[in-house]
Structure formats: C-alpha cells, structure tokens
Amino acid sequence: MDHDDSPGDGSGERSSDSGHPHPLPPGQRLVEARRPNHYGRVPRVDLQTWRLTISGATADGAEHRLSWGELGELPRTEFVADHHCASRRTLADVHWAGVGCRDLLERFPPAQTAPYALAYASYGYHSNVTVDDLLAPQALLATHMNGQPLAPEHGWPLRLILPHLYGWKGPKWLVALEFHHEPRRGFWEQRGHHFTGDVWREERFAHQE
Ligand SMILES: Nc1nc2c(c(=O)[nH]1)N[C@H]1C(S)=C(S)[C@@H](COP(=O)(O)O)O[C@H]1N2
Ligand SMILES: [Mo]
C-alpha cells in the first residue's frame, strides 16, 4: 500500500511487532523509527514575525492573529499518543505537549453555522478537518515532541496533532485555521484521500466516502 502519491513516508524504518500494550487501528503496523515525512522543504521560521491566523467564519467575524507570545499564554496540556500514517506505519507512544485546540477555540470560536475547517501549513500544505475534530480531547497545537521543542523537520514551531485521524490531517509548520460553512478538501483529500480520515474506521481513501 506504499505508493508515491500517498501521504506515506517512504522506506527506511525498522518494523516491530512486540511489546505494544494497546491495540492498533486496522491495517496499521508498528515501526520503531520513522523518517520525517512531508512535501517540500522545511520552512525557515522567525518567531518574531510568526503568527497563527484564525480566520474565515469566526464567531465574531474577525480574523485573529496570535503571536508566539500570545499563544504561550494559553493553558498547556500534554499526553502520549500513537502517530498513524496512512502508509500503514504507526509510531507508538509519542509524547506531545502544547496548547489544546479546545482552549484555543474557546477563545476564538467558529461561527455556530461553520462546522468545517482548513488547517494550513506555511507553503500551502493544508488538510480539511471538522470543528468536532478540533474539539476532540487530544486535539493539540503541539510545540513539543518527546520532551523537546519540535525539531524543524517535525514542524517547529507548531504542528496540529489529531491522534484519532491519519497523520496527513495534521500540518507541520501550522500557520492558520480557517473556518467554513461548507465542506472543503485539503491537499491529500483532493488527491484521492478520505474526507474524514478516521484511523479506527480505516478511512484512507476517498472512494470509501
Ligand atoms: N506541512 C506538512 N505537514 C505534514 C505533512 C506534509 O507533507 N506537510 N505530511 C503529513 C503526514 S502524511 C504525516 S504521516 C506526518 C509525518 O510527521 P513526521 O514527519 O513528524 O513523522 O506529517 C503530516 N504533516
Ligand atoms: Mo502520512
């Protein structure tokens, strides 16, 4: 199932089938290490000018632009979760820390009539998610991975983590959340991948919709 036009991550990992205490979603297998996986180059980011934009159909109709300092004032949270790539590789027990999406959305809510969102990385990579996905208990704006600030290739300074969805749903180098009244499709969702991407329902491909 690994092919070039999928949100996979190439070869080079070592497989493992031992010692995992919790069940894996259907069709996934554990790997012990993963090479970073993304389209294009790792962007250079200046925290002084960095902003997280919350736009589109916001409750107050305004576009909000948070600086790194403002993001840092929001409550922090952390947890351990598996990372499921649609290439069927699962990296177990990643420790993530950052700001809960729920805490962000409490302060900058979408319009009640806008259940959809696009999450944008710098350079245009984006994924479509729902507001419900962003309100999931483990939906996270991650700043740290395994106790360290995100490495540049893993999304520094900020990446979206949605453990209940496949990895492609979480842009690294996150720069914007945009709310919508109508469904939109993101980068991979326009290229044959599932609108929702729930790992437990194995929603990999658009033809399953
Ligand atoms: N900006 C951006 N974010 C991205 C991607 C990408 O191509 N660009 N790939 C996604 C996919 S398919 C996966 S599996 C994970 C990989 O994260 P990792 O490189 O930290 O393992 O990042 C996701 N976020
Ligand atoms: Mo992926």
Q: Is the pLDDT of residue 12 over 90?
A: no
Q: How confident is the model at residue 19 (pLDDT cuts 50, 70, 90)?
A: low
Q: Which residues touch 4 (CB under 8 Å, ≥6 apart)?
A: none
**DSSP character at residue 121:** E
Specify the residue for token string 């302060």.
107
Cα 84 to averaged position of ligand 2 atoms, centre (Å) = 7
Mean pLDDT value across the chain: 92
Residue 124 near residue 191, CB atoms below 8 Å: no
Residue 91 near residue 170, CB atoms below 8 Å: no
Q: Is the pLDDT of residue 3 over 80?
A: no
Cα 112 to averaged position of ligand 2 atoms, centre (Å) = 31
- Which tens digit of pLDDT belongs to each residue from 157-208? 999 999 999 999 999 999 999 999 999 999 999 999 999 999 999 999 999 9
Tokens of 154: 């893993």
CATH architecture of 29-33+49-208: Alpha-Beta Complex (3.90)
Specify the residue for token string 């996270």.
140
- Which tens digit of pLDDT belongs to each residue from 26-71? 999 999 877 888 888 999 999 999 999 999 999 999 999 999 999 9
Q: How confident is the model at residue 8 (pLDDT cuts 50, 70, 90)?
A: low
Nearest ligand, CA 119: 1
Question: Whose alpha carbon is nearest atom 6 of ligand 1?
Answer: 38
Dist. CA 118–CA 112, nearest whole Å: 16
Q: Using the atom order of ligand 1, give the atom closest to the CA of residue 8.
A: 12
- Which tens digit of pLDDT belongs to each residue from 184-193? 999 999 999 9
Q: How confident is the model at residue 11 (pLDDT cuts 50, 70, 90)?
A: very low
CA R_g for the chain: 16
Cα 60 to averaged position of ligand 1 atoms, centre (Å) = 31
**Cα 189 off chain centre by:** 14
Which has more confidence, 59 or 124?
59
Task: Give this prediction's pTM.
Answer: 0.93
